[in-house]
Amino acid sequence: MSSNRSGIVTTPPPTSPDLVPGPGRMRNGRGASIVRRRSTWLAGVVLAALVALMAGAPAQAGPASSGALTPVAARPTIVLVHGAFAGPSSWDEVSAALRKDGYTSVAVPLPLSGTVDDIATVRATLDAVAGPKVVVGHSYGGFVISDAAAGRSDVSALVYTAAFVPAAGESIIGLGAGYAPAAFLAPGHLTFDSAGRATITSTNFRDDFAQDLSPRLASTLDRAQTPTDLSILFAPSADVAWPAIPSWYAVSGADRVIDPALQRYMAARAGATTVTFDDASHAGGFTHYSARFTKLVEQAAARR
């Protein structure tokens, strides 16, 4: 057994029984000499093979003088932030696709009790996740991530799907001025709990939020709604991240919550790399188009 400078231990193979000479083959020492030559030759072949493998392996070592190994750069963790009238399970299809492709993701459960609490929740998640991160937001989640990622060096990209991308000082209601209003704002489309928080009625949910989905899948999203404090519509954004962090945007072309024209405006203003899912509902980007949206997230994650 021997050890080379890289620390790899080389163990020569055991001598094969058919190379051990019998008594009649040891005359004049010729049999022993043959065994020694064969053993030396085999050991040389093994050592040469190990050297060749080491030479062809991907370069991971640092400078030759130090001999230290440097780890392969870690992939960023994907932090997924849902919007109003939704919950973290809305990301299930995207999370599964990311996991299949070797990414770790975290779906943040927003309390939807107001912008201050929601932004603080995402910031706490970013603080708790080590290493680089890509932050993804849907709908109101885009407003939240734009604030929560501001000033951070550990967020390498922002990805939006049918999401609000405010400038500093803008509110959701202000961004929507001059564009088609959200379908759920029609009379009778919202119901309120004892705390005054709203959900979209089951009767209207699919048409308002997810018209491109099957009734079964739309019903699943409906049941996962988190009651939402409508103060989020009027609160102004503070500092925002997108002027300093590269962004990507998936426009939902048949959205009934955020006017697609407003989505295109916000994406262009942010300088985002933009794709359009022509017949996607407000939920279509992370469900009906989840495979294509996952690739957009991975494109953002691959950028350094």
Q: What is the pLDDT of residue 261?
A: 98
Tokens of 280: 């996607």
The per-residue pLDDT for 303 is 86
pLDDT of residue 46: 36
Closest CA to 78 of 97, 101, 98, 100: 98
Tokens 């932004």 map to which residue?
119
pTM for the whole thing?
0.77
Could you tell me the fold of the domain covering 77-302? Rossmann fold (3.40.50)
The pLDDT score that the predictor gives to residue 73 is: 60
Q: Which residue has the tokens 């932050």?
A: 135
> What is the pLDDT, as a whole number, of residue 169?
98
Please give the pLDDT value at position 76. 98
Specify the amino acid at residue 153: S
- The pLDDT, as a whole number, for residue 74 is 83
Under-70 pLDDT residues of the chain: 1-73, 304
Task: List all residues 6 or more positions away from 140 whose beta carbon is below 8 Å from its beta carbon.
Answer: 83, 84, 112, 118, 163, 164, 172, 228, 232
